[in-house]
Amino acid sequence: MMSLDKNAVPVFAVSKGCFAYRAENVLHDIDLELAPGRFYGLIGPNGSGKSTLLDLLTATRFLKSGQLLFQGRPLGSYGKKELARKISLVPQQFAMGFDFTVAEVVLMGRYPHIPRFSNPTVRDLDLVEGAMEKMQIQSLRHRLITDLSGGEKQRVVVARALAQDTEVLVLDEATANLDIHHTIEIMHVIRRLVQDQGRTVIAAIHDLNLAAAFCDQVIVLNEGRIFKTGAVADVLTSGLITDVFQVEPEVQMALFPSLERSSHMGSCPAPICSPPQEAVESEQSEPENALLHSTTEGEFKSQMQLSLM
């Protein structure tokens, strides 16, 4: 079980958690404690149970057996509106069947906080405006959500979660449809929520470089079980990546000078994964997403190439 600071009440505490879709077991004997004020990266192969675990943490689904506590109380004891004031979710897929404007969709994040039959307050509108600014979507405010590209919609959904202004933010591959510029911008915004405001973030992340650069702790799922948890530098080793993802990377250590890395990240800089040198030399052209460079918010540089076996 992941270690917790002394005297800290876990944000989430899962004990012997199991979940099944009909007769198919998906998650097995999950034991996990998540401390407040940290950025947790949830990684693992496709089908390992990441989205299902996030569904459980957000009360979208419920355990078949075991126990799940949120801030010391059974998660199922919370009402929907009460929980929505504490946990916001950026889902993997988002569908909006009506022609709401971008501003209206972001304002939906404030609904749990607005009394019935009441209008949004000045604070509500300020939070909506601030969220749109952080996601750089002010110019889209009057556009219909149904007219946007996939990446634009994703930024709107993240803005809605930011406007919700909760203690806990859960993201299921929130950057999957985004270009590299907006991916890194969003990760910086989320990182600052943790550093500056003490929020807790749990994010399913496919890009191991993003997990290495921005997360405090990593949770590795494989075949429905927790394979390993801990500080980034202790978990993202070449051996683990080979065991879990069936690839053979070389893990190098590098600093990310734009980030204030907390003590929860471990004493070592974050790992950068690259293929064996012979794999690099054999490539005639740069593979997609092989080299990520950005000067956004300082100097973030990340390299990752995984040659499939």
In this structure, of 68-82, 91-105, 219-233, the range with the lowest mean pLDDT score is: 91-105
The answer to whether residue 13 scores a pLDDT higher than 90 is yes
Percent of the chain with pLDDT over 90: 72
Domain extents in the chain:
37-59+79-245
CA distance 84 to 236: 33
Q: Does the pLDDT of residue 291 top 50, yes or no?
A: no
Stronger pLDDT, 98 or 293, i.e. the higher one: 98
Please state, rounded to an integer, the average pLDDT across all residues of the chain. 84
What is Dmax (Cα atoms) for the chain?
Answer: 65
CB contact set of 23 (below 8 Å; sequence gap of 6+): none
Residues 6+ apart with CB under 8 A from 273: 208, 209, 212, 236, 238, 241, 249, 250, 251, 252, 303, 304, 305, 306
- Residue 246 has φ and ψ, to the nearest 5°, of 60, 40
- Summarised one tens digit per residue, pLDDT across range 130-141 is 999 999 999 999
The pLDDT, as a whole number, for residue 8 is 80
Average pLDDT over residues 8-26: 93
Using left for φ > 0, alpha for ψ between -120 and 50, and beta otherwise, residue 36 falls in: beta
Statement: residue 268 has pLDDT above 50: no
Strands 65-70 and 12-21: antiparallel
Given a cut of 80, is residue 7 above it in pLDDT?
A: no
Q: How far apart are CA 301 and CA 290, in angstroms?
A: 12
The CATH number of 37-59+79-245, from 3.90.870.40, 3.40.50.2000, 3.60.21.10, 3.40.50.300, is 3.40.50.300
21-57 pLDDT per residue, tens: 988 899 999 999 999 999 999 999 999 999 999 999 9
Q: How many residues does the chain have?
A: 309
pLDDT at 162: 98
Tell me the pLDDT band of 279, cut-offs 50, 70 and 90: very low
Nearest CA among 39, 17, 11, 64 for reference residue 224: 17
Q: Nearest-CA neighbor of 31 among 168, 229, 167? A: 229
- Confidence class for position 176, pLDDT limits 50, 70, 90: confident
- What average pLDDT does this structure show over 196-203? 98
Closest by CA to 40, choosing from 158, 186, 222, 210, is: 210
**Helix, strand or coil, per DSSP, at residue 173:** coil
Structure token pair of residue 85: 């004031």
Question: Alpha-carbon distance 49 to 213, whole Å?
Answer: 23
| Dist. CA 40–CA 139, nearest whole Å | 32
Q: Is the pLDDT of residue 253 over 90?
A: no
For residue 22 the two structure tokens come to: 């009909």
